[in-house]
Amino acid sequence: MLDINLLGPIIGCQTALKYMGKSNGGNGGIVINTASIAGFLPFAEIPVYVASKHGVVGLTKSYGMPFHFERDEVIFNALCPSFSNTSLVESSNKTLNPEADFSKRPNLMSPEYVAKGAMKLLEDKINGSTLVITHDGYMYVGIQEELKNVTL
């Protein structure tokens, strides 16, 4: 799970900088990492998945800092959907206890609805942004104000 969910985006970001980064002769570009609402919230039933998605959110926000953009003009974003009607959610009932079967949630989103979120990221071009997608809409989630002075 960590290889796919976290190491994959790490390698993807490094490869994007290698081929798209202006410091390497590229033209800049946009990277959209697939995270999850689990990148912001805890879920007792899937702690390793949650850890991997928290990592993708942190990776995206870190590559989205001015330090990287000023050098390479590559924009990094993370798409963070809530529960979507995918094979991963459908298979959750095989690995979790019956009470935690995510496939039975009444508010599963369609893949097409999530894809509209990806289009929003491409249109808005907000570097380092994390777009949370729920059945209620699309919302950018940033750094908590009280933490900005600690980290920046």
Active site positions, annotated: 49
pLDDT, tens digit, 9 for 90 and up, residues 73-115: 999 999 999 876 665 555 555 555 555 555 555 668 888 999 9
Residue pair 129/140 in contact by the 8 Å Cβ criterion:
yes
Is-contact 76 56, C-beta < 8 A? no
Mean of the per-residue pLDDT values of the chain:
87
Domains of the chain, CATH where assigned: 1-14+26-141 (3.40.50.720)
Q: In what order do the strands lie in the sheet with 130-134?
A: 29-34, 74-81, 130-134, 137-140
Amino acid at 62: S
At 15, the pLDDT band (50, 70, 90 cuts) reads very high
Confirm if 55 and 32 have CB atoms less than 8 A apart: no
pTM: 0.84
